[in-house]
Amino acid sequence: MAEYIRIEKGLGPEGRIAVVRFDRGDGINALSPEALRQLTDAARSFEDDGATSVVVLTGGAKSFSAGFDLKDAEGRSRRTMDIGTLRRHLKLGPRLSRAWQDMEQVTIGAIEGFCIGGGVALAVALDFRVMARDAHMRVPEIGLGMNMSWQSVPRMLHLIGPARTKQAVILADDRISAADAYEWGLVEQVAEPGKAFDAAMALATKVAAQPPISVAMTKLTVNRLAHALDDLAAHMDVDQFALASMTEDHKEGVAAFLERRKPRFKGR
């Protein structure tokens, strides 16, 4: 089975920085179910790591992630799953984003190229995001007849407010430039092209120089306060996605994407 993740530890001040590199080597970095599992395992591998204060997550040189892999055989098998099996399979994404959000270490995403769909869902589960000036984000789920999932809507809402969240999610074909992402509050820093990782490491160095226990407890407090009500609606996330995936519009949206044409939605 292909390994998509590489973890480096012991970097920066007192060796308190770790780097997680997600790179499938194809310039696209799509999130297949297996990639989701490996990224989840990577986050969970830090659960008992008291030596690491900061984790930098970076993708490839050309992309952070193109989102869920619509061409992956396991992913496409969802079309024939019964509702119970489908609901269980759809928990892979929320499980990934929750694993990264719940990490005790401060997390920083370094975004080059494009960050799309599930890539955005993963990015907003992190504490900070650094984005290259020529990079862009896009949330195409609605354009594919799906809803934005992985519990990312509440996270985006906290970052950029209701109107911008609707703008980003509903206007599925609109790219969000690095400048707009920074203005909206979707990313915390914009770097020169090719320098997002370097800028993320510089930020990580500042965090790693702080008292580790105080930093961890502060992150936990802020997250618990910010996300206190999110779980009330979390259960609907998977069910909405499962329901949307059974519509004719979803089949049309995916077919249009794969055939490189405009979809024709009918509301059924």
Query: pLDDT of 11-25, one tens digit each?
Result: 999 999 999 999 998
How far apart, in whole angstroms, are the C-alpha atoms of residue 96 and residue 25?
21
* Weakest mean pLDDT among 1-5, 225-229, 232-236, 262-266: 232-236
Q: If pLDDT is split at 50, 70 and 90, which confidence band does 253 have?
A: confident
* Residue (of 36, 49, 94, 46) closest to 231 by Cα position: 94
Q: What average pLDDT does the segment 29-49 reach?
A: 95
**Torsions phi, psi for 4 (to 5 deg):** -100, -5
pLDDT at 128: 98
Q: How far is CA 12 from the centre of its chain?
A: 25
Q: If pLDDT is split at 50, 70 and 90, which confidence band does 255 have?
A: confident
Nearest 5 degrees, angle CA 81-CA 87-CA 88?
95
Residue predicted with more confidence, 77 or 218: 218
pLDDT at 15: 97
Q: What average pLDDT does the segment 174-190 reach?
A: 97
DSSP state of 247: S
Residue predicted with more confidence, 98 or 234: 98
pLDDT at 1 exceeding the cut of 70: no
pLDDT at 236 exceeding the cut of 90: no
pLDDT at 68 exceeding the cut of 70: yes
CB 186 within 8 A of CB 167: no
Share of the chain above pLDDT 70, in %: 98
* Weakest mean pLDDT among 16-30, 128-142, 206-220, 244-258: 244-258
- As a whole number, the mean pLDDT across the chain is 91
**Torsions phi, psi for 83 (to 5 deg):** -60, -35
**Torsions phi, psi for 17 (to 5 deg):** -110, 140
Query: pLDDT of 114-132, one tens digit each?
Result: 999 999 999 999 999 999 9
* Residue (of 157, 154, 120, 151) closest to 135 by Cα position: 120
Helix or strand or coil: residue 130? strand
Residue predicted with more confidence, 82 or 42: 42
**Which residues, in sequence order, are CB contacts of 202 under 8 Å at separation 6+?**
none
How far apart, in Å, do the first and last CA atoms of the chain sit?
A: 38
pLDDT at 75 exceeding the cut of 70: no
Residue predicted with more confidence, 184 or 77: 184
Q: If pLDDT is split at 50, 70 and 90, which confidence band does 187 have?
A: very high
Query: pLDDT of 79-95, one tens digit each?
Result: 777 777 777 788 889 99
